[in-house]
Amino acid sequence: MKLSKNLTLAEAIKSNTATRLGIDNNPTQEHLENMKLVAEKIFQPIREYFSVSIGVSSMYRSEALNKAVRGSKTSQHCKGQAIDIDADIFGGITNNDIYSYVLGNLDFDQLISEYGTEDNPAWVHISYKKDGNRKQVLRIK
């Protein structure tokens, strides 16, 4: 199943931790609808703008998986409303390229530069909600 032209459900729920620990990481219908919105409003515009493959390091996380990876108790990944993108997976662009593009061109709820350096985050967390996006910009060091 495709969430958008260039993002499959399999990519969005893939988790080595879930596989290793035997955790079910399948979304509900509500989560799936949220994931489609994130794919359409965040992932696909990035993919089309840069015209390169975009690596997804995390998208949907079941509550059990989120607990196993020590994610935030209020993580939007658990609602299907967030995606972590890592340009290093395929190369061609940087995480900072993605961060800058999203900041200047897309609607979002949260945009987080996570770890890495001042010039290039290790990955970019982007969340999107159907209504009430806050345009919150954060950095985790």
pLDDT tens-place string over residues 39-49: 999 999 999 99
Encoded tokens for 102: 């999203």
Structurally, the chain folds into a number of domains equal to: 1
Residue 62: the pLDDT is 97
Q: CATH no. for residue 77?
A: 3.30.1380.10
Contact, 52 vs 90, CB < 8 A? yes
Q: Name the residue range of residue 106's domain.
A: 2-140
pTM over 0.85: yes
